[in-house]
Every structure is written in structure tokens, then in C-alpha cells.
């Protein structure tokens, strides 16, 4: 990775502002239900405290839309982080101004505090320069360890780096190394699996990957548009009719480049996406007129699994169907288990896909689970990420 990290700078005795991604799910009692993102930040926090830094953490939580909303206050996160670190992490009731400044003045080397939700300010998402200056005034050094927000040009991800020396934390470094190798020098054969609802969400990813992969597997709702491009009737399935010509063009491009592009050959269909649905599996060209495709069938799983057997690198983003509902979960969970059984470097990104891997009980057998859904997608598109570009080069 060509960016400086916390190993490359002196932090002892310094105030270090660390952008983390603590946007974690909470239950109705305000308790953290999945602390994965907090755990992922621990190596960076422990390194900095071990080096004698004063660690000032800043994150967003939920979508408070630029105003104070107690539902999205950082208190539950501070409580869980304290448990994981085994030391008291004080939560500060603001993220700029006198309140955090006074708290920081009292910090000792090795202390950790957590500032209030940065998205309580509209200026955050606007990347307001004055607001970024106010954040920067709290610290001597900036560390970005929030890969999940690296594709956002916000005050706490990009703006603050204009006013402080800015380097990557260990999680950011890990994400960039895994994803960078994927695009620059993957072990071959290299396969990509794309799912999710819409082709329009992943057009740029498909286009970029067609120049890099040996096999491209497409499932989920977005497959319907490709199936329609091949002349199949898809019933009432999710379909982007205005993208059919585009899908046809991508199919032709794959053929021209010698990429093995695979689509489902059978689907699990039902009249509606409902938890109590009585689905049936049908070939792709035989979906009943009033029914919709909601998962891939067993023959599709076998086809996809067979094409992945020889793969040495596999990246997966997007589920194969409406896996949140039991009648339509089998295809996605089967693909998760296929990945876990491969003798290959496997990378999974995107919130739903990560959930599926955990649900299948195979998360521990995936090489790398990315903490950034949108960020990993934009990286795979070949885009520059503002939160990465703003860091110091090595």
C-alpha cells in the first residue's frame, strides 16, 4: 500500500484524532447487537495507546440527518468499547468546540475518549471547511481507520486531512492491501460473484471486472435483467427494463473478452416475497406469469459451484436472492458454504453478503470480510476513494 500508516509516524504524547466506523446495529434498548466494527478497530486503538498517544475517536452512528437525536448518541458504543478494551472510554457530549477541547486537555498518555456522533452536524456530510478545521483543532495527527466511509468526501474522512498529517490505521491498511491485490495481482483463475437487487447499482463494477476476471457469476434480482436480455420471460420478477440493452451489451463484451459469464439456470419462484410463501423451483424460462424469481435453484448452485472449483481468488458482493426470508435463503447460504470450502483467497463485501456468511456459520473460513460495502464496491469499480486519497503517500 502506497499510503503512510500509524507505523510511519511518531505519536507518543500526541493528540491523535482517529476516524473509526462505529456505525453498529443497536436493539430497542440501545444495546449493541453486532460489535464486529468495534472489534476491527481495536488493533489500531491498542497500538496508539501502547505508543503513549492520547486517542480521540470520532464516528457516525445511524442517520441523524444533521441534528441531535438521542437515538443515535454514541453512549452504547462507548460502553461496549470499554468492555472490549478493558479500560474506561469516556464519551464526550460533543465533537467540536469547548466540551471536547476541555476533555482532551485533561487526557493522559494512553487515554481513550469517544466524541459524540459527528453526523449530528450538517457540516459533516457537506465536508464544510470550517467544520473540518474545528475537528482538526482538537488534535496533532489524523488517523483514518474507517474504510466503510472512505468513499465519502466528508469533513471527518477527507476534510480534516487538509489540516493535519493524515495516515491510515491498521484496518484501513488491511482493507486496501486485500482489495488492491485483488485488482492488481490476483492468483488465477479469478472469479467474481455479484448479486443484489439492481444492475444499475453494479454496472461500473461489472464493466471494470470484465477486464480482470476469468469467471463472472451474476445472481440475485440483477440477474433477471440479464436473463431478459437473453430472451427469457421473467414473470413479475424485479426487472430494470431500461437496462436490458445494457445487459445485452455486457453479455457480448464478456463473450468478446473470453470471460465465462454465468447466470442462473433455475430459480426459486413464488407469487410474492413473503415468509410464509410456498415457492417452487422452475427453469429460468418457465417462471409463471404472475410469479417472481426470489432465489437461485439447486441446479444454479451446482453450476456456480462447479465453475468455482479451480478458482484461486474469489470476490463476492451481493446475495443470490431474498435471503432474509427462509423460503428464499438456500441459494445464498449454499454459495457462502461453497466459498468456505474452496482452496482459494476469498473476499466478501457488502452488508447483506457479510450477514449471509455469518448466517451460514462460515465467516471464520473466509480469507477477508470487508467492513465497507459501498467503499469496497467503488474500489472494485476502479474509483479513487476520497478518504484514502487524502492520506499521506509513503
Catalytic pick from 4, 126, 133, 198? 198
Query: Of 333, 322, 342, which Cα lies nearest the Cα of 361?
Result: 333
119 catalytic residue (yes or no)? no
Catalytic residue among 3, 19, 37, 174: 37
* Active-site residue flag, 374: yes
Task: Identify the active-site residue in 211, 285, 351, 361.
Answer: 351
Active site residue 198: yes
Let me know: does 172 contact 328? Beta carbons within 8 Å.
no
Q: Which of 110, 341, 374, 382 is catalytic?
A: 374
The H or E element containing residue 296 is strand 292-296
Exposure string for 7-23, b = 16+ CB within 10 A, e = fewer:
eebebeebbbbbbbbbb
User: Residue 151: exposed, middle, or buried by beta-carbon count in 10 A (0-12, 13-18, 19+)?
Assistant: buried
Q: Which residues contact 295 (CB under 8 A, 6 or more apart)?
A: 267, 268, 279, 320, 321, 322, 323, 327, 328, 329, 330, 331, 332
- Residue 11: name the closest of 146, 216, 169 by CA: 169
The answer to whether the beta carbons of residues 246 and 202 sit under 8 Å apart is: no
Nearest residue to 205 (alpha-carbon basis) of 216, 214, 197: 216
DSSP 151-197: TS--TTTTGGGGTS-EEE-HHHHHHHHHHHHHHHS--SSEEEEE-SS
Angle at which helix 203-210 crosses helix 373-381, to 10 degrees, equals 50
The grid coordinates listed for 158 are: 477527507
Those residues with Cβ within 8 angstroms of residue 11's Cβ, 6 or more apart along the chain or in another chain:
48, 51, 52, 53, 141
| Residues recognised as catalytic | 37, 198, 351, 374
Amino acid at each position: 500500500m502506497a499510503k503512510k500508516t500509524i507505523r510511519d509516524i511518531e505519536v507518543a504524547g500526541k493528540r491523535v484524532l482517529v476516524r473509526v466506523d462505529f456505525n453498529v446495529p443497536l436493539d430497542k434498548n440501545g444495546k449493541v447487537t453486532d460489535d464486529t466494527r468495534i472489534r476491527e478497530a481495536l488493533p489500531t486503538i491498542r497500538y496508539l495507546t501502547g505508543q503513549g498517544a492520547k486517542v480521540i475517536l470520532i464516528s457516525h452512528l445511524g442517520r441523524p440527518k444533521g441534528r441531535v437525536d438521542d437515538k443515535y448518541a454514541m453512549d452504547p458504543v462507548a460502553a461496549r468499547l470499554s468492555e472490549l478494551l478493558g479500560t474506561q472510554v469516556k464519551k464526550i457530549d460533543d465533537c467540536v468546540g469547548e466540551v471536547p477541547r476541555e476533555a482532551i486537555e485533561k487526557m493522559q498518555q494512553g487515554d481513550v475518549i469517544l466524541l459524540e456522533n459527528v453526523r449530528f452536524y450538517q457540516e459533516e456530510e457537506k465536508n464544510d471547511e470550517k467544520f473540518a478545521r474545528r475537528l482538526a483543532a482538537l488534535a496533532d495527527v489524523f488517523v483514518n481507520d474507517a474504510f466503510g466511509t472512505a468513499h465519502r468526501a466528508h469533513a471527518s474522512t477527507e476534510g480534516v486531512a487538509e489540516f493535519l498529517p493524515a495516515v491510515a490505521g491498521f484496518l484501513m491498511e488491511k482493507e486496501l492491501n486485500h482489495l488492491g491485490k485483488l485488482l492488481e495481482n490476483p492468483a488465477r483463475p479469478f472469479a467474481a460473484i455479484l448479486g443484489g437487487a439492481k444492475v444499475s447499482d453494479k454496472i461500473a463494477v461489472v464493466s471494470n471486472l470484465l477486464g480482470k476476471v476469468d469467471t463472472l457469476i451474476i445472481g440475485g434480482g440483477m440477474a433477471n435483467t440479464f436473463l431478459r436480455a437473453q430472451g427469457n420471460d421473467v414473470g413479475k420478477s424485479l426487472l430494470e427494463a431500461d437496462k436490458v440493452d445494457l445487459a445485452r451489451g455486457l453479455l457480448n463484451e464478456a463473450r468478446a473478452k473470453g470471460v465465462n459469464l454465468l447466470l442462473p439456470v433455475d430459480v426459486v419462484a413464488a407469487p410474492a416475497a413473503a415468509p410464509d410463501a410456498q415457492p417452487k423451483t422452475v427453469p429460468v424460462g418457465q417462471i409463471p406469469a404472475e410469479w417472481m424469481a426470489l432465489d437461485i435453484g439447486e441446479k444454479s448452485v451446482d453450476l456456480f459451484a462447479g465453475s468455482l472449483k479451480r478458482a484461486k481468488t474469489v470476490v463476492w458482493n451481493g446475495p443470490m436472492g431474498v435471503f432474509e426470508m427462509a423460503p428464499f435463503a438456500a441459494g445464498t447460504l449454499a454459495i457462502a458454504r461453497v466459498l468456505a470450502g474452496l482452496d482459494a483467497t476469498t473476499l466478501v463485501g457488502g452488508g447483506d453478503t457479510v450477514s449471509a456468511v455469518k448466517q451460514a456459520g462460515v465467516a471464520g473460513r473466509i480469507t477477508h470480510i470487508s467492513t465497507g460495502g459501498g467503499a469496497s464496491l467503488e474500489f472494485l469499480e476502479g474509483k479513487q476513494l476520497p478518504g484514502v486519497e487524502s492520506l499521506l503517500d509513503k
